[in-house]
Amino acid sequence: MDYLYAMWSPLTQTFLPSKQEFRKYPMQEYSWNYLDHLICGYYDNMTEQVKYKRGHYCVLPPALAHLADDDDREAALQDYGDKFNRFLDYIRLKARGKDDKTESDATLLDVTPLLTKVQQAAKEEREAKARDAQKALQEAQEAGQTRQAVNGKPADTVDIEKDVKKGSSDKGKDSSAPKNPSGICKVQQNVAKIPLLAPDAPHSQQWVNLRYDMELLPTQCFHLEVQWLVCRSALVDDFITGLTRRAKQFSLDIIPVPENYGASTLDIHPLICPVHFAIHVPSVLPMVEKALVSTLGFCVDGIYTATKELLPTQYNVHKPTGDRNYRQYVHRELSCFVRVTDASVVWISSRRLHSPEMKALFETVRACVADLQATALPPLAIAATCAV
């Protein structure tokens, strides 16, 4: 059953509608067989059907808004990539263990490194060729080529299809191709099993799983999720403390974030209510995202999917035809989030809901969205101006 209630928001000083769902039985039965196999070491991946503890952390990308020179930006990204590689070497050393000398480091935490300008240009060129080949194929099919067929297809079409397949295969190698015009990528993740050794019980089997992004991007957060089920809490605490300490030694900004950071639903916490900033002029959304990164201290967290069923009730989307993606930004210091959809801007507070800094940042974001909409012309006014 759905329980609807109104919750007082200290940010807006009003009551906001909230909802939580209660079930007599869980949606998915507890997978006891999978748990047995997991403990015995047959599987490494945790699933939502097995209850386990977790802690989520984000390595923040370097702030580049204050750097006007391209060379300075390139130098900052190069320095960030070098420091991050040393950080990964530390995690690989933990994952390999002292007694395991057979497994190579290449198979542990296989993360695509930061792209340089030359690599990025080559990648964009491959994608452009694939788009051009696809467009040429469509034009050839629409024109109805009548040349001599090869295996039942026109010769031009066969050659073009080869180019399309080649471009698609090159593009398929990239695990995080941009899924939206803003250039934010959806990065795939992998899991590494890290054994932990207790001094008083050297023969006991204890380990944690580390879920990590498979690509390091210059403007997006790198996600690390520590998962554990068969391990002492003291060992996990020592591992996380060592992880954060080593990141700080390499001058990397790593922050803890809520574990449900990427949930598609907005009802992620019974005592934290999201706040919607209505967008009446959709053309201001790119300017809002630019202001979040350049002046308000946010950075790109990633791109996530909202299901079709949640769009009308939680995202103010009328008559959705399918699932949609939304962009999410995280603040560098307060760990609060801003989701940008095609219909609204959604504020999600962190656990420090009542702090003065959180209140001040909320008012700043709300004022920024209001000012951008006030200065932007609505679509009707733009059409009228063009007509004159």
Q: Can you name the residues that pair with 277 across neighbouring β-strands?
A: 345
Nearest in space to 332 (alpha carbons), one of 350, 359, 356, 353: 350
3-class state of residue 321 by DSSP? coil
> What's the pLDDT tens digit per position in 206-257?
889 999 999 898 889 999 999 998 888 899 999 999 999 999 999 999 999 8
Confidence band (pLDDT; 50, 70, 90) for 10? confident
Model pLDDT, residue 22: 79
| Cα 346 off chain centre by | 16
Q: Which amino acid is at 324?
A: R
Query: Any idea what DSSP says for residue 176?
Result: T
Q: Is the pLDDT of residue 168 over 60?
A: no
CA pseudo-torsion sign 19, 325, 260, 14? negative
What is the chain's length? 388
Q: What are phi and psi of 299, to 5 degrees?
A: -140, 165
Model pLDDT, residue 273: 83
What's the rounded Cα separation, in Å, for the pair 102 and 310?
A: 48
What does the block give as tokens for 37?
A: 């196999």
Model pLDDT, residue 300: 92
Ordered DSSP codes for 61-127: PPP-TT--SHHHHHHHHHHHHHHHHHHHHHHHHHHH-SS--SS-GGGSS--BPPP-HHHHHHHHHHH
Q: Is 348 exposed, middle or buried (0-12, 13-18, 19+ CB in 10 A)?
A: buried
Q: Which amino acid is at 323?
A: D
